[in-house]
């Protein structure tokens, strides 16, 4: 064995070990950040308000930086877990401890987990029966419900029960963020999402405005507009209500947006032809559809889960032009990009494994290379590091009660 071969072997071993150590350090940093947020809640600290959003960028494998009005949808590189408007996650331990999610999102003990009684004391009385709403939630019921953790919620008490049609003006209003109306027959009854044609009469109503999404946090003018809309609607019914503090709601929105920006992660795996070679559009469409993708009006291919109808990952043009039936028939492209939107899919690690295999198969079929955004080849070690970061991001989302792929995640990471 020559000295060159020995040197290459040693270099490869050092590279693999370095990637594993770097990956471990980054995962530890994410867990330390979540633990710090939990400690802050226990000490009574509130969220620190701040501006939301840098300009959203297209998914790649290298983190980018920029300024703008919308939340940045960050990409994921080995050892990187998101990037928010104010910059990357702090490297310094003291700086990391300053990052605090909204109090309602900090990890907490389950309400149904009884604490051990102190020595010499009588056991606590049996808990009262759970409400119908709590039982439905425990059973995994996914009916839409008001979500005060991520929405500005205003409760209205009509003088007499009203039909959903009486809220038509409020339901069709556009205030700049998603707006939902719920009604229930009375206190303790389950909430029902209202449409203008929903049957029945409702003795209690709530208006819910989403506080943050990928377009950024709800601003003071937007909150004022929402409160004004509810005031007008309450006057028309008539109904009593208590308006929230606009400044407090803006602070909540900005804190929520910062927290989500930290974990707004998308993965891109690029299948690229080498040199001047390109992939004929007709050939690409045939390969994509054989792999289970379908072309959509959004200008990309989507891989849809049959049983749930959820989009697991997408395939888009390496160039900026969207895919259409005509463009695929008449042109070619140097490559395609597989995209995984981590917060928007259930079980992101499993979906990443599925997408990785699909990308590798397409790479072989099209005689192309699997690369990152800088056209560097992605080997198994790099893919394993990315997989571990997907796992860390999913764990961090769950720790702050944003289950990937849930209605809450779809709301916060939409727009």
Q: Which of 139-143, 248-252, 390-394 has the lowest mean pLDDT?
A: 139-143
Residue given tokens 């989403």 in the structure block: 210
Query: 227-239 pLDDT, tens per residue?
Result: 999 999 999 999 9
**Residue 299 confidence (pLDDT):** 96
Give the pLDDT score at 55.
36
> Has residue 324 got a pLDDT over 80?
yes
Q: How far apart are CA 37 and CA 215, in angstroms?
A: 25
Compute the distance between CA of residue 148 and CA of residue 305 in angstroms, rounded to an integer. Answer: 30
Mean pLDDT to the nearest integer, 252-257: 97
CA contacts within 13 A on the Cβ side of 92: 3
CA distance linking residue 312 with residue 303, whole number of Å:
6
Residue 348, classified by CB atoms within 10 Å of its CB into exposed (0-12), middle (13-18) or buried (19+), is buried
Q: Which residues contact 264 (CB under 8 A, 6 or more apart)?
A: 71, 72, 73, 74, 82, 84, 214, 343, 413
- Mean pLDDT for 296-318 is 92
pLDDT tens profile 274-286:
889 999 999 999 9
Q: What pLDDT sits at residue 80?
A: 33
| pLDDT for the residue numbered 87 | 32
Q: Are 283 and 335 in contact (CB under 8 A)?
A: no
pLDDT digits (tens, 9 = 90+) for 92-109: 444 334 433 333 333 333
**Domains identified in the chain and CATH numbers:** 143-252 (no CATH), 263-412 (3.30.1400.10)
Residue 152 has pLDDT above 80, yes or no: yes
The predicted pLDDT at position 271 comes to 97
Whether 195 has a pLDDT exceeding 50, the answer reads yes
Residue 343 has pLDDT above 50, yes or no: yes
pLDDT (average), residues 172-193:
93
Residue 415: per-residue pLDDT: 75
Mean pLDDT value across residues 40-68: 36
Residue bearing the bigger pLDDT, 313 or 25:
313
Report phi then psi at 190, rounded to 5: -70, 145
pLDDT beyond 70 at 197: yes
309 neighbors 229 (Cβ within 8 angstroms): no
pLDDT at 307: 75
- So what's the pLDDT on residue 190? 93
Mean pLDDT in residue range 52-79: 36
Exposed/middle/buried for residue 361 (C-beta within 10 Å: 0-12, 13-18, 19+): middle
How confident is residue 309, by pLDDT bands cut at 50, 70 and 90? confident
Q: What predicted TM-score, i.e. pTM, was given to this entire model?
A: 0.68
pLDDT at residue 180 greater than cutoff 70: yes
pLDDT band at 305; cut points 50, 70, 90: confident
Does residue 128 carry a pLDDT above 60?
A: no
* Confidence band of 373 (pLDDT split at 50, 70, 90): confident
Tell me what the mean pLDDT of segment 262-274 comes to: 95
The span from the CA of 301 to the CA of 319, in Å, is 14
pLDDT at 115: 43
Region 195-222: mean pLDDT is: 95
pLDDT (average), residues 188-202: 93
């Amino acid at each position: 064995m020559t000295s060159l071969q020995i040197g290459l072997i040693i270099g490869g071993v050092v590279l693999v070990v370095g990637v594993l150590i770097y990956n471990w350090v980054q995962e530890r940093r994410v867990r330390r950040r979540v633990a710090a947020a939990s400690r802050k809640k226990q000490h009574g600290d509130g969220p620190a308000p701040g501006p939301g959003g840098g300009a959203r960028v297209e998914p790649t494998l290298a983190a980018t930086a920029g300024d703008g009005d919308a939340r940045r949808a960050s990409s994921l590189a080995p050892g990187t877990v998101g990037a928010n408007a104010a910059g990357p996650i702090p490297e310094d331990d003291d700086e990391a401890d300053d990052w605090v999610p909204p109090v309602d999102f900090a990890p907490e003990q389950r309400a149904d987990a009884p604490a051990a009684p102190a020595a010499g004391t009588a056991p606590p009385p049996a808990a009262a029966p759970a409400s119908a709403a709590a039982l439905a939630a425990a059973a995994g019921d996914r009916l839409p419900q008001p979500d005060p953790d991520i929405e500005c919620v205003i409760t209205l008490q009509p003088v007499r029960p009203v039909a959903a049609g009486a809220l038509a003006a409020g339901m069709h209003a556009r205030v700049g963020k998603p707006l939902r109306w719920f009604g229930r027959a009375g206190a303790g009854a389950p909430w029902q999402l209202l449409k203008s044609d929903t049957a029945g009469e409702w003795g209690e109503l709530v208006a819910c405005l989403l506080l943050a999404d990928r377009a950024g946090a709800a601003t003071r003018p937007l909150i004022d507009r929402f409160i004004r809309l509810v005031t007008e609607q309450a006057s028309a019914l008539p109904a009593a209500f208590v308006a929230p503090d606009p400044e407090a709601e803006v602070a909540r929105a900005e804190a929520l947006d910062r927290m989500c920006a930290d974990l707004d992660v998308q993965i891109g795996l690029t299948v690229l032809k080498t040199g001047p070679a390109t992939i004929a559009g007709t050939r690409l469409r045939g390969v994509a559809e054989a792999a289970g993708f379908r072309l959509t009006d959004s200008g990309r291919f989507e891989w849809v889960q049959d049983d749930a109808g959820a989009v697991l990952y997408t395939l888009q043009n390496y160039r900026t032009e969207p895919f259409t039936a005509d463009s695929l028939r008449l042109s070619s492209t140097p490559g395609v990009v597989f995209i995984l939107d981590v917060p928007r899919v259930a079980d992101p690690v499993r979906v990443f494994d599925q997408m990785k295999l699909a990308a590798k198969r397409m790479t072989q079929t099209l005689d192309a290379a699997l690369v990152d955004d800088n056209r560097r080849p992605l080997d198994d070690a790099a893919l394993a590091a990315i997989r571990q970061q997907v796992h860390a991001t999913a764990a961090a989302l769950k720790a702050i009660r944003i289950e990937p792929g849930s209605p809450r995640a779809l709301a916060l990471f939409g727009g």
